[in-house]
Chains A and B, each alone.
Chain A
Amino acid sequence: MGASQTRSDHEHQHLTDKTGFSLEQIKNLHKRFQQLSGNEETISKEDLDRIPALANNPIKKQIIGAFFDKRNQHQDEVGSCDEIGFEQFLMVMSHFRPPTLKTTDEEKEAMRKEKLRFLFNMHDTDNDGTITLEEYRKVVEELLSKSGAIGQEAAKAIADAAMLEVASTNVPHMAPDDFYEGITFEHFEQILKGLEMESRMHIRFLDVDTTTMRCGKSTS
């Protein structure tokens, strides 16, 4: 017991440096990971699919997909895995850390880029570096999917208008023959500049352990 504890502590320590979470947060997330995976080493898509609260989420597939997307592991790999381990789980979660008072402006900038990159990867499903009109349409359709039978037309119109906006903002003077291939990452950054991603895209990671209340047993 003691040996495994120190070993997992050691691993967790290594992870704090890599992902920026604190030790308590990693421990909590690890517990959650165990819960989701049924105490296995890895989780698969079905494990995440089983979470009941996610059922109402219109973009459930994309969210789950993001966990298995190798691009989010920051290791310059592409493609997707079938199963991920705790470290990969944490890496994906680390995209949602908030900035602290000590975060400098450059760090904030880097954080923002990272978060935007995460979003971009979620939209750019074929990994060609641009979000094409089809992909964007799909995004809007998914967003509207749980909202009832408004239909494809509205989604199409909205996606088209949005794409037009991106094109107008970034490449204002295109000849009629030009074709705007898709939203590149720079354009994506540009249009979402106003949203201040580093402050908005975060969740509160708990330092206090609440998952044990559900687990029913306290491990360390």
Chain B
Amino acid sequence: MTSRRGSHSPAGFGKSLPERGLLLLVLLVLLEGSVLPLGAAGSPDTSHHTKAGNSAGNGTGNVTHKKAFPVLSLDYHHIQTPFEISLWVLLASLMKLGFHLIPRLSGIVPESCLLIVVGLMVGGLIKLAGEEVPPVLDSQFFFLCLLPPIILDAGYFLPIRPFMENLGTILIFAVIGTLWNAFFIGGLLYAVCQIQPANPSNLHQLELLPCLLFGSIVSAVDPVAVLAVFEEIHINELLHILVFGESLLNDAVTVVLYHLFEEFSEVGTVTVLDCVLGIISFLVVACGGVLVGAIYGILAAFTSRFTSHTRVIEPLFVFVYSYMAYLSAEMFHLSGIMALIACGAVMRPYVEANISHKSHTTIKYFLKMWSSVSETLIFIFLGVATVDGKHDWNWTFVTVTVILCLVARVIGVVGLTYMINKFRIVKLTTKDQFIIAYGGLRGAIAFSLGFLLKKELFPLREMFLTAIITVIFFTVFVQGMTIKPLVELLAVKKKQEAKRSINEEIHTQFLDHLLTGIEDICGHYGHHHWKDKLNRFNKKYVKKCLIAGERSKEPQLIAFYHKLEMKQAIELVESGGGVKMPSAMPSTVSMQNIQPKKPPLAKPVERALPQLPKGREEEIRKILRSNLQRTRQRLRSYNRHTLVADPYEDGLGDLLIKKQKMIELEKKIKDMNNYLTVPAAPPDSPTMCRARLASDPQAYHTKSVSDSVPAIQVDLASPQSPDSVNMMDEFRRAGQQQQQQEDQGLTMRPPSRPGEAGGARDPQKLTRCLSDPGPSADEEEDEPFLCWFLSRPKQR
């Protein structure tokens, strides 16, 4: 972007570190403005007095000026700057918190609007209190501190695939669209200002170049505003990436145009050479920014290769390298936003392969936190800055600006889409175009750029600022608030909430290779071909350099699979070991269902149950506890007594109660020996069911074995079905021996009423099992599933 060194910055800025610069700046600003009188206004005087008094005392010897030693004194001035910064941040965050506590509000009004309103109120309060409003949205502060976190967050988590797929479209919208907007608005504004010759107003002194400059400032779609609004409407990925990508990439155009017109305004005339230079400048700014970002990104990736021993500072590298990329780009007047995006996007795949999981989480949360705070502050400051500042309201200018902005956007989008659709495979429909046009929000960047204008060159600066603010308010409030209902009304496709499944990943890769192959057979080098080449280059050379260790060779599919496994494992742990449902839909399918059936080998001898040591029992119990949910489901449909199995779990709350029961039951396990139960026949194979009933009546009552069960594998990988038949034979024998020792609780029994004690049910149970299916559908699953569980592993 343009030089952010506005007229407000101290000299020699480029030399000091940004933090020092910021503090210096803010201090300067505050000293200028003598800000929010929080705390006693008199306290600085008191402290100065005391100091002066003491020094005077020391200097003149024994002039007794002895005051009592101040036990408690107030020295606001000392901490004023950081205190105020923290106060603002706190205020912003509390506001954000507050909005979400009010139930309906956040659904209707987007957060950005609310924050601007809060800013207006705060600004109003300050003004009422008679103090001068601090120039909070100072361009320096904005561009160096508030904007980078948001852009880095966007760039780091940019979905690369859709971005690259639509890059052509995005670039056309960003570059040509913004140019069109700028010239259209600027030109027509100038024309409008020139009419009414009979009524000379100060509009007439508006030259063409300032108009064009104004047009270029106000025409750029703002990433902050777009992010803030689009995040809440959950629109489909394509539209999101189109509008958002445009808002990011038009930075380069805005930089060049702004700079260009500013320079020309000083000079006063434009030549063809200047235009050519302008185009070259654009290319330099854009490509230079991306290059700078890419270099820093690669550096960061390379650094992260060596951080395996100092995991704690890994996130720091990501942040610092990115920030330096931004600052370096700014230093050369290149596009800092594009540098940040490039840096984040380039470093991400390699850094993520190198850093630990905790660092990854840290980076994610820090970025989200900073960008959230920044965004909140920006909107609040926008409100505050509106209250302050001399406004020069000119009805004609402002209304014409607003109208022209809308009109230019619509015409631009429609016209460009017409051209683009000739080259796109997935065409943009009218609905899409409408959303793209409507989503062109302006935001704080425009305001800051306007703020940077020098008064001497642009006498109508206040009028510009007023108009800019009006446009911003209009887009954020009107368009921001109505876009959500419009999206609903037009039934625009929303974002798919489904998680990425491994099947999709496999097939995405498969498709990539397939399409590359078909292109090769067709003989032309389409973009699949080049993508494939890039991937291979990446794999062969780049990954080896930038990724540490073995992971450099890991194919993408496997990396994805590991990530998925990790995620599931974490979910399981976080959910407290199974109380919550696993993230996938409840399903009773387990690995055994898909393993091909082994021929049922008769190996009854091996089925003798070895003894289990006590420690193992504990393990078993733990495993059981942690897998309550899964087996519960399995059993639900599995219980032969519910022939019409109701598969759907409702009331997870029941689970907790049942978990209680389960713990009780586990105690019972201790009392039992040599009990194994047999899984009942599946409810949906009635013939089998009847067959088993006929042959093995007691099979359903064999007990669970607590300490004689061999290895219990509770995860999905235990094939069971082929051997269940055998087990039943054995258990029939075992069961017959132990029938009299039948105990409650761990037998396979029909659904019983919850809360009933175990024992009394058993005799009934026996008969019921033999004769008719039990009636109730909501059963105590704990007991059966326990048996089920204990019995399963036998087959391994």
Contact = CB atoms under 8 A, between A and B. Distances in A.
Interface of A: 29, 32, 35-36, 48, 51, 53-54, 56-60, 63, 67, 93, 96, 98-101, 119, 122, 132-134, 139-140, 143-144, 147-148, 150, 154, 157-158, 160-169, 171-180, 191-192, 194-195, 199-206, 210-211, 214
A182 B527 CA distance: 34
A139 B506 CA distance: 9
B685 A177 contact: yes
Nearest to A191: B503
A158 B513 contact: no
Contacts of A161: 502, 561, 564-565
A158 B721 contact: no
A143 B510 CA distance: 7
A173 B503 contact: no
A164 B518 contact: no
Given A161-B502, A172-B588, A179-B593, A35 B523 contact: yes
A161 B557 CA distance: 12
A158 B588 contact: no
B160 interface: no
A36 B510 CA distance: 24
Interface of B: 421, 425-427, 429, 496, 498, 501-504, 506-511, 513-524, 526-529, 532, 536, 539, 553-555, 557-558, 561, 564-565, 584-597, 633-634, 637-638, 645, 647, 679, 681-685, 688, 716, 720-721, 724, 792
B645 A173 contact: yes
Contacts of A166: 503
B584 A54 contact: no
Given A143-B557, A179-B721, A180-B589, 18 more contacts: A57-B520, A63-B521, A119-B507, A140-B557, A144-B555, A147-B539, A150-B553, A150-B555, A172-B589, A176-B638, A176-B720, A176-B724, A180-B594, A192-B504, A194-B498, A201-B515, A206-B524, A210-B524
A205 B792 CA distance: 56
Interface of A is mostly: helix
Contact of A199 (B425, B510, B524): B425
Given A147-B555, A206-B524, A167 B594 contact: yes
A172 B587 contact: yes
A96 B557 contact: no
A179 B597 contact: yes
Contact of A133 (B498, B520, B595): B595
A167 B589 contact: yes
Contacts of B555: 144, 147-148, 150
Nearest to A206: B524
21 contacts: A58-B513, A93-B522, A133-B595, A143-B513, A144-B555, A147-B539, A150-B555, A154-B561, A160-B594, A167-B587, A168-B589, A172-B588, A175-B638, A176-B638, A176-B720, A177-B681, A178-B682, A191-B501, A202-B425, A203-B515, A203-B519
A160 B591 contact: yes
Contacts of A177: 681-682, 685, 688, 720-721, 724
A116 to B, nearest CB: 10
B596 to A, nearest CB: 6
Contact of A57 (B503, B504, B516, B594): B516
Contacts of A203: 515, 518-519, 522, 526, 528
Nearest to B639: A175
A56 B496 contact: no
Contacts of A63: 513-514, 517-518, 521
Nearest to B423: A204
B719 to A, nearest CB: 9
A206 B584 CA distance: 43
A173 B524 contact: no
Contact of B682 (A101, A133, A176, A195): A176
Contacts of A54: 517, 520-521
Contacts of A169: 585, 587
Contacts of A210: 524
Contacts of B426: 98-99, 199
A53 B536 CA distance: 13
A162 B503 contact: yes
A144 B557 contact: yes
Contacts of A191: 501, 503-504
A143 B506 contact: yes
A143 B509 contact: yes
A29 B510 contact: no
A63 to B, nearest CB: 4
B426 to A, nearest CB: 5
A164 B528 CA distance: 31
Contacts of B638: 175-176
Contacts of A58: 513
A175 B684 contact: yes
B594 A163 contact: yes
A194 B504 contact: yes
B506 A140 contact: yes
Contact of B517 (A59, A148, A163, A200): A59
Contacts of B522: 29, 32, 93, 203, 205
Contacts of B688: 177
A204 to B, nearest CB: 5
Contact of A56 (B527, B536, B564, B721): B536
Contact of A165 (B503, B521, B554): B503
Contact of A98 (B425, B520, B536): B425
Given A133-B595, A164-B716, A176 B679 contact: yes
Contacts of A132: 596
A139 B586 contact: no
Nearest to B788: A176
Most buried by A among B524, B529, B591: B524
A190 B685 CA distance: 26
Nearest to B508: A195
A57 B523 CA distance: 15
Contact of A59 (B513, B529, B590, B684): B513
A176 B498 CA distance: 27
A219 B607 CA distance: 76
